[in-house]
């Protein structure tokens, strides 16, 4: 059965402060849901516990509140996040998907380290070195990869279970989108490949509901050198919320001169063609 209620998501990763590109993406997802009378789901991707820091989690809530953004599903604040919403509480669910893929013959264990791949000149897609080795998954020794060859692809098998036994981003994203009823995802064009991989995994696991999710990929926000903005650029929110929303309006193709825009309520009042 196809879903009728629109649900979008904000999915920040607490590995650094949010930058302007993150916030523009969040505003786009928020606006779409609100224009459609739908809901917004806040999902904080903290599976990579080594990179997730409390100060970055706190900054997520501070920045969203400063812009005036609300949500309907997800943690109400840092304390609520750590008590109930951290992805560590959903590890069993993620492992369930990994087991399904393994049972269907779509995974294999891999002993390749980053150092080994670098020495062999592999800098892009993984070429399937361990596909036919029939290795067993052993924590801290091997990782588990998704076998794209079984779907007709020659290379690019992503890791779905790390050597430290932590499920990878793709697994968490698929499970959370399905379990929380996400229907629409607006994300940057740099994630087109990620979308494709997630669709392949969902198909391999026979998760038919994933086909109902509508993905759209928007242009990236670039810095003065024409490069993608990264979290290493630092906190882009701070005290510039009014200016940030005006810049977002220009990015959306609106004219702040003819349509005074100071906050999200002003954007909501306008007919937005992209929405």
Domains annotated for the chain, with CATH where assigned, are: 7-90+169-268 (3.40.50.620), 105-161 (no CATH)
Percent of the chain with pLDDT over 70: 90
pLDDT higher than 70, residue 214: yes
Summarize the confidence of residues 183-204 as an average pLDDT.
96
Of the listed ranges 21-25, 76-80, 219-223, the least confidently predicted one is 219-223
Helix (H/G/I), strand (E/B), else coil: 15: coil
Residue-wise pLDDT for 143-174, tens only, equals: 999 999 999 987 899 999 999 999 999 999 99
Of the listed ranges 158-162, 184-188, 210-214, 219-223, the least confidently predicted one is 219-223
Contact between 73 and 42 under an 8 Å Cβ cutoff? The reply is yes
Contact between 67 and 36 under an 8 Å Cβ cutoff? The reply is no
Beta strand 143-146 with 159-161 is antiparallel
Q: What is the mean pLDDT of the chain?
A: 90
Query: How far is the CA of 221 from the CAs of 20, 42, 191, 238, 254, in angstroms?
Result: 8, 22, 13, 18, 16
Residue-wise pLDDT for 244-274, tens only, equals: 888 898 888 877 666 778 889 988 887 766 5
- Spatial CA neighbour of 47 closest among 6, 9, 95: 95
Summarize the confidence of residues 100-109 as an average pLDDT.
98
Residue-wise pLDDT for 36-91, tens only, equals: 999 999 999 999 988 999 999 999 999 999 999 999 999 999 999 999 999 999 99
- At 49 the pLDDT is 85
pLDDT higher than 70, residue 224: no
- At 230 the pLDDT is 65
């Amino acid at each position: 059965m196809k879903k009728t209620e629109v649900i979008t998501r904000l999915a920040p990763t607490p590995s650094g402060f949010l930058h302007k590109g993150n916030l523009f993406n969040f505003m786009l997802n928020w606006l779409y849901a609100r224009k459609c009378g739908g809901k917004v789901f806040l999902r904080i991707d903290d599976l990579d516990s080594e990179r997730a820091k409390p100060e970055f989690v706190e900054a997520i809530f501070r920045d969203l509140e400063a812009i005036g953004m609300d949500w309907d599903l997800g943690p109400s604040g840092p304390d609520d996040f750590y008590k109930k919403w951290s992805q560590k509480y959903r590890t069993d669910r993620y492992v369930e998907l990994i087991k399904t893929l393994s049972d269907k013959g779509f995974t294999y264990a891999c002993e390749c380290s980053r150092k080994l791949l670098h020495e062999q000149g592999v800098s892009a897609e993984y070429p399937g070195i361990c596909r036919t080795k029939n290795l067993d998954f052993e924590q801290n020794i091997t990782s588990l990869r998704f076998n794209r060859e079984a779907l007709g692809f020659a290379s690019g098998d992503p890791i779905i279970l790390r050597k430290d036994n932590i499920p990878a981003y793709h697994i968490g994203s698929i499970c959370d989108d399905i379990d929380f009823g996400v229907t629409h995802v607006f994300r940057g064009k740099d994630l087109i490949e990620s979308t494709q991989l997630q669709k392949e995994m969902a198909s391999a696991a026979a998760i038919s509901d994933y086909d109902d999710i509508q993905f759209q990929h928007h242009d990236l926000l670039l810095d003065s050198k024409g490069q993608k903005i990264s979290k290493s650029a630092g906190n882009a929110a701070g005290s510039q919320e009014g200016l940030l929303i005006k810049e977002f309006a220009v990015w959306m193709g609106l004219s702040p001169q003819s349509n005074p825009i100071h906050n999200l309520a002003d954007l909501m009042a306008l007919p937005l063609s992209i929405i």
